[in-house]
A and B are shown apart, each in its own frame.
Chain A
Amino acid sequence: EADIYQTPRYLVIGTGKKITLECSQTMGHDKMYWYQQDPGMELHLIHYSYGVNSTEKGDLSSESTVSRIRTEHFPLTLESARPSHTSQYLCASSDDTKAGTQYFGPGTRLLVL
């Protein structure tokens, strides 16, 4: 059973606000990821991390930023939310022993008004 948590599950916020989406995992995985999932269901990798103090941008350009100060924690921050940021955000983690298997959190559904 995967233990990866995301909060909040739903967030409605006004334009210009700063928000942080939380993601934590208790599996001790080194690698963590953030995906943006559009209404058409397709997943887009926006950030990933190899481990503590390592962060990289993904395939889809995003105005968000991430940090990895602790192995278990990988928060995503939007300094100034805009309606174009409205989407579902999925966090995931993996280790090298499961042939690339990723474990996903339940997601945060963000609506920016």
Chain B
Amino acid sequence: GNSVTQMEGPVTLSEEAFLTINCTYTATGYPSLFWYVQYPGEGLQLLLKATKADDKGSNKGFEATYRKETTSFHLEKGSVQVSDSAVYFCALSGAGGGYQKVTFGTGTKLQVIP
């Protein structure tokens, strides 16, 4: 079955530091890949996505590239801010029509300190 493995947290960074959160996946076919973010006291919201190999998703300064050869979708940001403190979830959605079950990673908590 499908699975997503992401680096364990918490990750603590100083403001303006470079961020990488690793995510690798196991899936059949060509899944879509996502990063969701959950701010304190809220539900998850889509941060970025990529639907095919070599696609780069980007939003709010965050980027991730769909690497089929390494089955990875690592999240990066060049300069984090305190407001980026949140929990980040890597996820995949199976290829094909019908019900597209989403498989989530376990989440990585990021804390950015001033």
Interface size class of B (residues with CB under 8 A): 20 to 34
- B62 interface hit (Cβ, 8 Å): no
Cβ contacts under 8 Å, A99 to chain B: 32, 49, 51, 93, 100
CB proximity of A19 to chain B, nearest CB, Å: 19
Q: Is the CB of A104 within 8 A of B43?
A: yes
On whether the beta carbons of B93 and A104 are closer than 8 Å, the reply is no
Q: Chain B residues with Cβ under 8 A from A103's Cβ?
A: 46
Check A41–B106 contact: CB distance below 8 A: yes
Q: Mark B26-38, 1 if CB is under 8 A from A, else 0.
A: 0000001010101
Residue of B nearest to A9 (CB): B41
Residues of chain B whose beta carbon lies under 8 Å from any beta carbon of chain A: 32, 34, 36, 38, 41-46, 49, 51, 87, 89, 93-94, 97, 99-102, 104, 106-107, 109
13 contacts between A and B (CB under 8 A): A41-B106, A43-B44, A45-B101, A50-B99, A92-B44, A99-B49, A99-B51, A99-B93, A99-B100, A100-B102, A102-B46, A104-B36, A104-B45
What residues make up the interface of A, taking CB atoms closer than 8 Å to B? 2, 6, 31, 40-43, 45, 48, 50, 90, 92, 94, 96, 99-107
Q: Which 4 A-B pairs have the closest CB atoms?
A: A100-B93, A104-B43, A41-B107, A100-B100
Further 8 A-B residue pairs, CB within 8 A, beyond A6-B43, A41-B107: A2-B45, A40-B106, A42-B104, A94-B100, A96-B100, A99-B100, A100-B93, A102-B46
